[in-house]
Structures are given as structure tokens and as C-alpha cells.
Amino acid sequence: MAHSGAQKILSEVTGVTAVVVATVDGFDVASAIRGNTNASRIAALASSIAAISTVVSDETELGLSKSVIIDTESGFAVVYSVRRTDAELVINVIANSSAILGQVAYHTSQFARLLSAA
């Protein structure tokens, strides 16, 4: 389901170039990639970012961190945390400048909800 969900976002959401689902300690479990992006590097990066964002939300007493958005010159990346009863996962979606942040965020959060309930 993680594979098909990742593939769905890649093919249906404009501007998405990579979707990587990772374990919370940085191993990739499913991915859909367009181009040369290295899924295992992205998995490690996403898990670091998710963990560091947890530090921020803990320090600021804002509750659990749900997502992080990295806004860059020519696109963006969104990192979503998925908390299941048996495991924690991290979804990373990378998009170029033709993507719309709200759209990517919406689809990714839907995917996150699906993975947390499955």
C-alpha cells in the first residue's frame, strides 16, 4: 500500500518528482521516483529532519510535530510524520517549481492518514 500510495502521488500530483516512505530511523520502505534521486539518501535525510522537528515541537511545547516544509529556490520538500501503533514512518515528497504547495501537502497528509490507519 505504501508503494501504490507513493506511486499515486508521483503520477497524479503536478510537479512531484519523488516520494519516499522511510522508517523513523532512515531506511526506505517504499518509493516512487522520477529521475536520479537516491531513495535511501532521501530516507535518511527525511528521518533526520523529522527527528529534529520533534525537538523543536518539544522545546516549544507545541505538541507532536506533524510535518516540515523545506522551501527552496526551485521547489520544495515536505516531510510528514506517520504514527502507527506498531511503527513510526516518515513520508518525504519532493516537488519542483511547477507544484503547488497546498496541493502536495493535502495529498501527502491524506497518504499519511491512510498509512497510519492501515
Amino acid at 27: F
Of 59 and 71, CB closest to another protein: 59
Does 101 sit near another protein (CB under 8 A)? no
Of 54 and 67, CB closest to another protein: 54
Does 27 sit near another protein (CB under 8 A)? yes
Among the listed ranges 1-9, 37-45, 70-78, 102-110, the one in contact with another protein (CB under 8 A) is 37-45
SS (H, E, C) the chain: CHHHHHHHHHHHCCCEEEEEEEECCCCEEEEEECCCCCHHHHHHHHHHHHHHHHHHHHHCCCCCCCEEEEEECCEEEEEEEEECCCCEEEEEEEEECCCCHHHHHHHHHHHHHHHHHC
Question: Which residue among 1, 55, 64, 100 contacts another protein (CB under 8 A)?
Answer: 55
Helix (H, G, I), strand (E, B) or coil at 74: coil
Does 44 sit near another protein (CB under 8 A)? yes
Question: Which residue among 47, 65, 92, 108 contacts another protein (CB under 8 A)?
Answer: 47
Does 106 sit near another protein (CB under 8 A)? no
Chain residues in the site for another protein (CB under 8 A): 23-27, 40-41, 43-45, 47-49, 51-52, 54-55, 59, 87-88
